[in-house]
Amino acid sequence: MSKEYVVEPVGSEGGAETDPQGTSLEPDERAALEEADLDPDAVREKHHSYRSLLEAGLEEAVADALRRRFSLPWSFVSDADGDGDLDRRSSEVRGLGEAEREWIAVSDDEDWQSFEYEAEFDTVGRERPDERPYPKPTPVTAVTGVGPDDADALAEGGIVSAERLATVHASEVADALGLDVLHVRAWRHNARELID
């Protein structure tokens, strides 16, 4: 079973005209371009910009459709030439926030890449609370049986509060600090009693 495929040549009657790249011009677009004295092939080859299509008298909807389909540049005139195109486009484009509009305004001259920024920042003042949000830790010397020398030895291991002493692994602390494991267990028990 074979199928025959019919391919209409470029410029044939009955629809859109296509080129080898697959881009096409609708008959009404071709007529609008010819009415504005613009070469349709030049549009397909990107020899026109969106702004030049509008300046030639093409309707905005047709020019916009052609710009999107053929990826035409917005304008061949750079903003450095002083036409203010970026400013105008930023005011026309929907969806820009204030920060983006401000950036466009700041980037209007040659110094736009400087690190100086003129905007003021709102500072949030906070008052210090009258009370601490959490209680002060209980000193390890408050634990029954822990003297100043023992507290210094425990501090070398990072144990400076009764709350921390109540959670230690007694044999690991005793081995690491060279203390008697029975003393560390007793201190841990007393620390648990103290903080409860």
Residue 188 near residue 166, CB atoms below 8 Å: yes
Average pLDDT over residues 118-147: 83
Q: Report if residue 31 sits inside a domain.
A: yes
Q: Report if residue 4 sits inside a domain.
A: no
**Domain end call among 51, 70, 89:** 70
Only one residue has tokens 């007694």, namely: 170
Please count the structural domains in the chain.
2
Q: Is 75 a residue whose pLDDT tops 50? A: yes
- Tell me phi and psi for residue 85, to 5 degrees: -60, -40
Residue 15: per-residue pLDDT? 47
User: What is the dihedral angle through the alpha carbons of 86, 88, 91, 92, rounded to the nearest 10 degrees?
Assistant: -110
- The residues, ordered by sequence, that sit 6+ positions from 45 with a Cβ below 8 Å of its Cβ are none
Q: Report if residue 107 sits inside a domain.
A: no
Q: Report if residue 126 sits inside a domain.
A: no
Residue 95: per-residue pLDDT? 67
- Report the chain's terminal Cα–Cα distance, integer Å: 91
Q: How far apart are CA 123 and CA 118, in angstroms?
A: 15
CATH number at residue 164: 1.10.150
Q: Which pair of tokens denotes residue 110?
A: 């040659």
Give the range of the structural domain holding residue 151, as residue numbers without chain letter.
140-195
Q: Report if residue 104 sits inside a domain.
A: no
Q: Report if residue 116 sits inside a domain.
A: no
Q: Is 121 a residue whose pLDDT tops 60? A: yes
Q: Report if residue 33 sits inside a domain.
A: yes
**pLDDT (tens digit, 9 = 90+) per residue, 91-113?**
666 666 788 777 777 776 666 56
Q: Report if residue 146 sits inside a domain.
A: yes
Q: Is 6 a residue whose pLDDT tops 90? A: no
